[in-house]
Structure 1
Amino acid sequence: MGSVVQNDNNGAFPAASGARGVVALLALAAIVSGCAQGGASGGGAESGVAGGTPAPGQQVADPAALPAHALSLYAAHLRAEALARAAAARHWGLREVPLAAPLPPVRKPRITTREGFEVEDHEELDLPPLFTTVPTRQKVVFLTIDDGAEKDPAFLKMMKELRIPYTAFLSDYVVKDDYAYFRKMQKFGVTLNNHTLHHPYLPALSYTRQKREICGMQRVLREQYGRRPALFRPPFGNYDRDTLVAAKTCGVKYVPLWNEEVFVDHWEYREGDQDLHPGDIVLSHFRGRGEWKGTMPDMVRRFLNKVTEKGYAVARLEDYL
């Protein structure tokens, strides 16, 4: 099979509790639990939040598992978070408050390559799956943002205040002038993934050069941000068999593409119905007024207004993989 062209037209969190709130709640639950086990109230039942601090974009564990006093404070915390979220939505000019994402599935969905996106010997070589939608019945979509050219502080602030999860795919040639910007993003819980060193059209390169682009970016991400990611997105969505073989060699497990793309002034769709679907991956780019008729916050506003109007929450892609 030849190269696959995806027609790309461009060359913080929704959980009920924020990161600091979750930490405080966990500490509170542990204290209350300790008192319940050894304090005057007696009772030796174990309690608290199972599994430790949840990843960004997740809600805490089932409130029914919390001790009574912690449950009361948890409810108060949720009310405060809801008020803060509503205030942030007003501040950033949203028509409605974004919906909070449901708990991610305990049993992760099986991710397979979308029909028609396969390369030769895809299954035989156990190459990473390419997909545009995550199989789920939950009414969620996933926001992914590519390259890293625009480094807008207002975007970081907006996403943090609204607690909207997203997944970044970075290219070194545009991020190396300000690695620190993306460290701030990572601190907010965003996963930084591979989008190659120089953003080339990969099918035009030899296997060796493709591997250099992908593995080289893996090294940059490990050196700058502490880890080699499992997710990779080929520039422009274009790939061939060598791309996927090289990606697997470099440690890539998944190759998410997209089903919709959101710009500052319009949407574009892969499917004929021109609509959102449960589990859809949405693409955007780190862009500003130099290339768009607006800013990244303008793009986020368009994105959130539509998905909220359609009854969708924004979930964290990595929670479903």
Structure 2
Amino acid sequence: MAKGAHRSHRALGTALVVAALASTATACSGASEPDRGAAAPAAGQQAPGQAPERAAAGALNAYVERVRERRTARVVAAKKWGLAKPPLEAPAAPATKPRITTRKGFETDGEGLPPVFTTVPTKQKVVFLTIDDGAEKDPELLRMMKELRIPYSAFLSDYVVKDDYGYFARMQKSQETGVSLHNHTLNHRYLPGLSYKQQKREICGMQDVIEKRFGKRPPLFRPPYGNYNEDTLRAAKSCGVEAVPLWAAEAFPDHMEWREWDRDLHPGDIVLTHFRGKGDWKGTMPDMIRRVMNVITAKGYAVAKLEDYV
């Protein structure tokens, strides 16, 4: 059992469970040390603390079995969807989210505005997958991501999602932890060319749509094309936006594009792609996921949930 647990990419999570269960067992025993003055249990009688210890061991066995089953399911799903290797399991989410600051060179003169960044500060070998706009509504994407258990975040524009809000509602509920839906404006316009009032309508209007259709006002916003000015960030803040994630790499079905000079992934990088199909690029949404996951996994990275870190 221990060997299987150590093979898991969630070894840290297992260790924490062991510690928690051991702590629970100790607490339930009624004393931190054996009572040396107490009489030994009679023959056939259960020693104090024995039942909680058995319960803790049983819970740990169940946890390790779930980890093993999930790993096996990923192997099967990876073969089904044509991935070179199964996706790596992301480590446990940090107990405290890292402090996000605006990337150097991306600042405006305004103070107290939502930070603009391309990479989350972390030493863990994780990256974050984000998908923009919502034009292509491929049901195969939902099946693929659910079976592979790949977390991702969607940044939606109302002008292309309003013909089928139900697709994104299914997406939101399609995984164990759910897919988070965020703001990409109402009409995907070039924001620096608009007045403050017009920008606020684009951003706040989409906040209203997402809250009405999907039940929650999103904390994250991505400006179309990655273009913004100080008015953009002021408007976003007034609408309840807390952070503005851009991207460090972009995925297509047939290639990757990189922001950094070394054309590589780094811990905490945000990866962008789009809801597109064969009418717009050389492949389908599953083709794109296959490409980007093969790259991410080959480089030793796991995909984590952006909202666990931001």
TM-score by length of 1: 0.80
Separation of aligned partners in 2, 1:15 and 1:164: 14
Closer/same/farther in 2, CA of residues 215 and 45 from structure 1, 3 Å limit: farther
Alignment of 1:1-321 (within 5 A): 43=49, 67-121=56-110, 124=111, 126-187=112-173, 188=175, 189-321=178-310
SS in 2 for 1:299: helix
Deviations 1:11-63 (A, max 9, x none): xxx986xxxxxxxxxxxx9xx99xx78xx88649989xxxxxxxxxxxxxxxx
Alpha-carbon distance between aligned partners in 2 of 1:143 and 1:267, rounded to the nearest angstrom: 13
**Alpha carbons 1:258, 1:283 under 8 Å: kept:** yes
Aligned-pair CA distance for 1:82: 1.2
Q: CA separation of 1:43/1:99 partners in 2, compared to 1, >3 Å: closer, same or farther? A: same
Deviations along 1:262-313, one digit per CA (max 9) or x if unpaired, are 1111111111111110100000000001101110000000010001000000
Report the secondary structure of 2:283's partner residue. Answer: coil
CA distance in 1, matches of 2:135, 2:203: 18
Matched residues in 2 for 1:281 and 1:117: separation?
Answer: 16
Structure 2 unaligned blocks of 5 or more: 1-7, 11-20, 30-45
Q: Distance in 1 between matches of 2:148 and 2:47?
A: 39
Equivalents in 1 of 2:291, 2:233: separation in Å? 33
Equivalenced residue count is 271
- Equivalent residue letter for 2:195: S
Distance change >3 Å, CA 159–CA 42, structure 1 → 2: farther
Matches of 1:292 and 1:115 in 2, distance apart?
Answer: 32
Deviation at 1:107, TM superposition (A): 2.0
2-structure distance, mates of 1:316, 1:301: 18
Distance 2:202 2:51 in 1: 54
Residue 13 of structure 2 corresponds to none
Q: RMSD over aligned Cα, in angstroms?
A: 2.4
Distance in 1 between the 2:128 and 2:271 partners?
Answer: 6
Give unpaired runs (5+ residues) of structure 1: 1-13, 17-28, 48-65
Partner residue, 1:50: none
| Runs of 4 or more above 4 Å deviation | 44-47
Q: Does the aligned pair in 2 maintain the 1:15–1:163 contact within 8 Å?
A: no
Q: Which amino acid aligns with 2:232?
A: T
Q: Distance in 2 between matches of 1:127 and 1:224?
A: 27
Task: Give the AA of the match of 2:243.
Answer: Y
Residue by residue over 1:220-239, the C-alpha shift from the partner in whole angstroms, topping out at 9 and shown as x without a partner, is 00000001000000000000
Amino acid at match of 2:236: A
Q: Which amino acid aligns with 1:285?
A: H
Name the SS for the 1:233 alignment partner: coil
Q: Which amino acid aligns with 1:89?
A: A
**Does the 8 Å CA contact 1:86/1:97 hold for their aligned counterparts?**
yes
Aligned equivalents of 2:309, 2:273: Cα separation in 1: 20
- Structure 2 partner of 1:24: none
Q: CA deviation at 1:105?
A: 1.2
With the length of structure 2 as denominator, give the TM-score of the two structures. Answer: 0.83
SS of alignment partner, residue 67 of structure 1: helix
Check 1:168–1:45 CA distance in 2 against 1; reply closer, same or farther (3 A cut). farther
Q: Residues 121-172 of structure 1: CA distance to partner in whole angstroms, max 9, x if unpaired?
A: 2xx3x00000000010000000000000000000000000000000100000
Query: Hey, what's the Cα distance between the residues in 2 that align with 1:44 and 1:165?
Result: 40
